[in-house]
Amino acid sequence: MPAEAVALPLAVGDLRYRDSAQSGLGFTGGSQVLPLERGRMVSQTLSRADDTLLIREAQRGNRAAFEELVRQYDQPVLRLALNLTRSEQDAQDIFQEAFLKAYRNLGSFRFECSFYTWVYRIVTNLCLDHLRKKQVRKEEAPVAVDKQGVEYDLLDQQADDRAGSNPERDLMRRELGHRIGRALERLTPRERMVFELKHYQGLKLRTIGEMLNTTEDTAKNTLFRATQKLRATLSEMR
């Protein structure tokens, strides 16, 4: 595959992350970012060449090069883990395990996909494992209210920071947010992951498929199932 062909998913993906960081709420519709996209895409494509050199160096055992690579991806990785697990401790563990795994297995990275996709494949796998374990634990111990409460504190804090001038509307929005959070927990780990990557991270279904080692079509079907389930769960809660 030529270098340009793998450059694009990286450019689009990474760029959306930055936008979601700026907009706070995280969701960016496809068309909103267009005017800035082209210029950034060019610079992203250029930085691909640096990436390749860094990866080569890191593969030869140069730890500084690896740390440089980590810097480029660690914030979005932490953000993804944090938003999926809703726990700083778990997110930090996933972060740690993901990059150690990446470092250990860097020798097997063969440039068959972009480094971004490769790292994300590791991260999403770890997150899926985490979600699966969490789900099993919850099934077996239904009295998990306390834990849930603790997890949502994190969410409350976040909402408090942004409280605007209309307390009533903020309250309603926060309640809706809680309902969404609970509905998301009812999805299977894979559905949860696809919805997260599509809705909140704004990735293309094709990239999501690549990260989850599946096809674009499967990712699309999973997204469809996720939206159906979310709607059903939310209408139950009303």
Least CB distance to another protein at residue 39 (A): 21
Least CB distance to another protein at residue 10 (A): 16
Taking residue 31's Cβ as centre, other Cβ atoms within 10 Å add up to 7
Least CB distance to another protein at residue 43 (A): 18
Smaller CB distance to another protein: residue 116 or 230?
230
Task: Report phi then psi at 24, rounded to 5.
Answer: 80, -60
Least CB distance to another protein at residue 228 (A): 9
Least CB distance to another protein at residue 227 (A): 5
Got the DSSP string for 38-90? HHHHHHHHHHHHHHHHHHHHHHTT-HHHHHHHHHHHHHHHHHHHHHHH--HHH
Smaller CB distance to another protein: residue 146 or 161?
161
Distance, in Å, from the CA atom of 166 to the CA atom of 99, rounded to the nearest integer, reads 42
Which residue in 6, 78, 107, 1 sits closest to 47, CA to CA? Answer: 6
The alpha helices in 141-215, defined as continuous H runs, are: 145-161, 167-185, 189-195, 205-211
Smaller CB distance to another protein: residue 45 or 103?
103
Instruction: Tell me how far CA of residue 92 lies from CA of 23, 53, 64, in angstroms.
Output: 24, 28, 21
Contact between residue 86 and residue 152 where contact means Cβ atoms under 8 Å apart? yes
Contact between residue 174 and residue 156 where contact means Cβ atoms under 8 Å apart? yes
Smaller CB distance to another protein: residue 36 or 63?
63
Smaller CB distance to another protein: residue 21 or 42?
21
Least CB distance to another protein at residue 166 (A): 14
Smaller CB distance to another protein: residue 44 or 201?
201
